[in-house]
Structure 1
Amino acid sequence: MCAEGHRPICQDTGIVNVFVKWGMDCRLDDNSRSMQEVIDEGVRRAYLHPENKLRASVLADPAFTRRNTRDNTPCVLHVEMVPAIRSSTG
């Protein structure tokens, strides 16, 4: 539907799931934000991009005010810790 310029109308069509394989020796350059915050910023930029055809459907308070976040954050983040890969040169 999005390829044709139409937006899905069902409320359960837009929850972003992000799967990260994180090396045990990796660190975020910006340690003032959590991994969730960093990934959500990427989701926010993607959904607010002018060429995005996907509809934001995540609600900030689904039980009461049902306010749409307009940028589809927060995403559902899955993190898998993986062993560090050592190069033969270093």
Structure 2
Amino acid sequence: MAKGYWVSVYRVISDPERLVAYNKLAAAAVQAAGGRVLSRGGSRVVVHESGIPERVVLIEFDSFEEAVAAYESEAYREALATLGDAVERDFRIIEGV
């Protein structure tokens, strides 16, 4: 079974305090759903082409279905409500190979 991944690239962070509050709630929701953070932040980033040198987050789940279910969970919805419009990001759920 292919793994599932959350991939987030933050283009703009307009309210860092709300991002911190979101991170606490999101971390708990991800952990409860079996997710593992592979990369968060990006203190060392080399960008190419149209790359964005902002915060990048990569989270792994045992399956694509688990990744989708985690996003749709009540716990993660609460985290998203806290985040609101504090960031502009590109968020994707993708299936591994």
TM > 0.5: no
TM-score scaled to structure 2, two decimals?
0.30
Task: Specify which structure has the higher proportion of helix.
Answer: 2
TM-score scaled to structure 1, two decimals?
0.31
Q: Which has the higher contact order (CA 8 A, sep 6+)?
A: 2
Structure of higher CA gyration radius: 1
